[in-house]
Amino acid sequence: MTALITADDLLHEIDEEDLLVLDVQYTLTGDGPRLYTGGHVPGAPFVDLDTVLAGPAGEGGRHPLPDVETLQAGLRAAGLDDDSRVVVYDQGTSLGAARAWWVLRWAGVEDVRVLDGGLAAWRAAGGTVVTEPVSPEPGAVHLEADQLVALDAEDAVATAKLGVLVDARSPERYRGEEEPIDPVAGHIPGAVNVPISDLVQPDGRLRPADELRERFAREDIDEVTVVGTYCGSGITAAHTALALHEAGVDADVYVGSWSEWITDPSRPIATGA
């Protein structure tokens, strides 16, 4: 079953009482709140990726999993109840939205969909955009962590040996030729590179499922493969897990990703193709 919703379908569902739309616009430089005040879907409260959908940066990487109590408080403040159906979106890349999709399901929220193409697709479909912040009635959702598998460093190594570990970063970062964010360049030994640019269309929407299956098949990935994903800090890795889901493949996410891997100097580092 697809985890995506089109902008046209959201336009038809937007007024349904049990539907909660969450704005998770996000950039690495922390521009989410500014993007939200610049325009968002009517009725959609803002959920901050850095403070709600991730814990403090440290040995667990730049975007480790949040404490479940902090996540619960943030989602209750956004109006989430146990029976809510959720749609998450960002400005168009679905990076922030995919992180929200994965983290909410990790915490036990079952009905979560991603607006394919984000706010850009919503605008293109004729959806109204507002700038006033939304302050919903608090919700009463009860969360329970670990409903999805979050890989640690040892699990990532095992996945690379038993199945396929997918590095979702750019080819240059994977090969160790450049590293604009983390202090060490390279990749986890045994990982294969499937950059996000291979998975999305020019407008930010995911490629059709048959094209995604074809791309992953080039890495010997199909519906029975043991698959893990990682990136720099667990954001793009969630997007790759979403793409794999659309291709019919279940994947676990190494949330700490490269930024956590390199905190232990004894861990090996590979470079090149």
Catalytic residue IDs = 231
Strands (E), the chain: 4-5, 19-23, 85-89, 112-115, 150-151, 164-167, 192-193, 227-230, 252-254
Neighbours of 53 (CB within 10 A): 29
Task: Quickly list H helices, 145-265.
Answer: 153-162, 171-175, 209-217, 236-246, 257-261
What is the DSSP-derived secondary structure letter of residue 169? Answer: S
List the one residue out of 42, 48, 172, 145 whose CA is nearest residue 99: 48
Name every residue whose Cβ is closer than 8 Å to that of residue 257 and which is 6 or more positions away in sequence.
61, 230, 231, 232, 233, 234, 237
Percent of residues in the chain assigned helix, strand, coil, to nearest 5: 30, 15, 55
